[in-house]
Structure 1
């Protein structure tokens, strides 16, 4: 007998209709309380990774899935073994597998099920489940709604879901010590929901906020207060601005990286470095799990999950918002029900600020034709008179403003303060997300745009034609790979080595004129300027060659094209 039980994957959705029909047929034959499962529901459970399938000689013969509830309960539901294959021990194998999967994904949750099937009854008892009254099960409307297709549903409703013909089983893992989990915490609604939810699940939650340049000391203090107010065991603020610059921003400048020639990868480039620091912290305190507040619709879930899978592969990854498919209103309701009185004002615009720029989202960015109004951006236009500034570079790194030297990170912040008053660096980027859809986001990145444009102009004067050409090609790949969560691929280190090598002579000053909403590149001064090392006087003469030399060069240079066009073809 070739019997295989495994976690269902996307290829198994082709069996969803068959499974739904078999469950319904079984309910009719048994004349007992098995509720119907819709094909769509089964498909969703498979795609969530919360379902188990059994195959006999390559033919599907059984199924079960996990249902989660916010009260900290997990149900093992939809158990079915196709009639022809019953009495072969398959249900016992499926039950063992689904329980193991439930315990792995939700180790602190209360596991429960209701059944009229004797074999499942015996399996539950063997695994230390206890029989309980229906009052000890979740009061969730979503759970009891699934019983509506059962012929005994009227009996259930008459008793206000307090009893029916099914037997209820519950397993409470109270003997399990609280597991230590690290939550990537920003203090917003999503991660606050995650903190409360994980605490309710029985985890000992260590919150960590990674600052890559977007938070003030006052904001960091407020985030810490919120974490402890909700119930964090311990909160740590991790300063990573210089780490982010040294490992990312520096190379975005070296590469003149603008995604689709517009977007400087402002806030999106920060996520992988925040994930790296969170993973390091989880390893440091020997946490058994790690969590983040991403949804299933965006890019950040990919960036966080990939980094955690690589840097702490022994730790489970939890994402309560994604796993529970919560709306923002459901999150707020849940927090209010649990006594969390922190208020989140529904702002008209979503703002994410970092050292490399600020992203802005609103109703306008959900359209294809509307632009963000001026008030959507974090900085208003304050300077009306133009101003010239000098930016100094040494081996590609930004070292000074108006010849006043300082650390690069400090210079970036200072340049942002100067240039944002001119409202420079505003735009809307339209691009392709990791999950395959188009996305539109507004941004203001005064410092980033100015630095990239200034550095690029300096390179044009210093690098050779082919250095400039190949940098353009490779920079495009670097930006794309960084955006698409591939930072930890070794090819990124190879590209960075190339970037560093090209910067050895990129030193000098760039003069820029700042005016409202735009910048103007004036020129450069550099001892490595290839233009200044030439002997020619444009349009007149050159000390290195004469007129006859020029005519001979042109004749040879065009020889191959001339040969081609001299061949007579019909």
Structure 2
């Protein structure tokens, strides 16, 4: 084929993971007459060897080009720090490990498609999960003219059909389905398997990527500055991402951060997934403890409301909604005095938050010690306060006495 005819073929940007689904897509789309650009987005889940393996795979599948986009630092700046500011745990359990990363992978794919002037984008999602929505939303909002092609979803292919197709095209790799599906990233690792398809079984120890090797306990001090974690045991880092990775290496041998999340998917069904997220859970809970000491009562209350909404919108793929920028401004503003150190201890399968040290600690003994001594008011002040505070409810009881007596 001449270079002239090759150039006439349209470019299609394929969100490429290297697994069975996107491998099928690469071969199928090439056969359909597209110049396939296989693009992998790293949000903290790939090492150098894995990147090289992905590039080799993409070329063997016939991709014209392979590109690895490192979005880890951007992911932190644009999203992760707000998840920390908000202490975001979906259903009070899950630190949005995969769902938040998928959104930023989709955004990076859109940007690449625009830069390469591609008219087509593709992903390997099926029609049964959340990721199809996250990718499609990003594509439709940021590049409404781009055409979305999803071979697995559109053809409703079974895993075996994909394998047979690849074998016919001389891609006879080992496609034996692993017992557990693992998605690893900077903000945690999801683990899916036979047990997570049930409502009563838990994942066995061997399903998790980190095994329990820690002995005894280990003291850890995390320092925060305006809500951002900045040092670990006195060691500073060039970027918070490096600290997160270091803390993960420190805590993972204790098998900390394992749990199972049950929640509502975007497509309306209940889903269950195991995960391991030692560093995210430690950071979120340490940050929350520091906030309990440094933020005022109503700051804490309204932060919880908006942060829950923020996490839900990220999970649903609605990160681009303008209200998200408003919530981010609020969350950031609340962090002005969230500075200090959090002291904790690592143990096998758990960690204990010991306490905090902060110049902004509102447990100041200058005004009193809870349950011990009052220094800023008198007993007579409290009598007057409770008399006024009771007024509204006293009036309700007086007006509605008959109805109250009947009940």
Which TM bucket (shorter chain)? over 0.9
- Which of 116, 126, 134 is 1:303 aligned to? 134
- For residues 398-417 of structure 1, the C-alpha deviation after alignment (integer angstroms, 9 at most, x for no partner) is 10111111120000011111
> RCO greater where, 1 or 2, for CA within 8 Å and sep 6 or more?
2
1:569 correspondence with 2:402: yes
SS of residue matched to 2:13: strand
Q: TM-score, normalised by structure 2?
A: 0.95
TM-fit CA distance, 1:342: 2.6
Distance 1:314 1:209 in 2: 22
Distance 2:163 2:330 in 1: 48
Distance 1:467 1:333 in 2: 58
Corresponding residue for 2:212? Answer: 381
Distance 2:156 2:384 in 1: 73
- Which of 352, 356, 361 is 2:192 aligned to? 361
Say if 2:220 and 2:232, in contact at 8 Å, map to a contact too: yes
Q: Which moved more, 1:530-539 or 1:496-505?
A: 530-539
Distance 1:229 1:356 in 2: 31
1:429 correspondence with 2:261: yes
Taking a change above 3 Å as real, the CA distance of residues 535 and 237 of structure 1, as seen in their structure-2 partners, is same
Flag structure 2 segments of 5+ consecutive residues without an equivalent: none
1:370 correspondence with 2:196: no
1:471 correspondence with 2:310: no
Corresponding residue for 1:412? Answer: 244
- For residues 410-430 of structure 1, the C-alpha deviation after alignment (integer angstroms, 9 at most, x for no partner) is 000111111111111111111
- For residues 386-406 of structure 1, the C-alpha deviation after alignment (integer angstroms, 9 at most, x for no partner) is 112000100100101111111
SS of residue matched to 2:8: coil
- For residues 330-353 of structure 1, the C-alpha deviation after alignment (integer angstroms, 9 at most, x for no partner) is 111100100113323321100000
Corresponding residue for 1:232? Answer: 63
- Which of 170, 174, 193 is 2:24 aligned to? 193
TM-fit CA distance, 1:552: 2.1
TM-fit CA distance, 1:505: 0.7
TM-fit CA distance, 1:324: 1.2
1:277 correspondence with 2:91: no
Q: How does 1:74-85 map to 2 (within 5 A)?
A: none
TM-fit CA distance, 1:175: 11
SS of residue matched to 2:402: coil
Corresponding residue for 1:256? Answer: 87
Distance 1:306 1:376 in 2: 32
Corresponding residue for 1:208? Answer: 39
Q: How does 1:488-503 map to 2 (within 5 A)?
A: 488-503=320-335
- For residues 360-380 of structure 1, the C-alpha deviation after alignment (integer angstroms, 9 at most, x for no partner) is 000000111000000000000
After TM superposition, the runs of 4+ consecutive aligned structure 1 residues lying more than 6 A away are none
Flag structure 1 segments of 5+ consecutive residues without an equivalent: 1-173
Corresponding residue for 1:542? Answer: 374
Corresponding residue for 2:125? Answer: 294
Q: How does 1:383-402 map to 2 (within 5 A)?
A: 383-402=214-233
Distance 1:539 1:468 in 2: 22
Distance 1:541 1:549 in 2: 14
Q: TM-score, normalised by structure 1?
A: 0.68
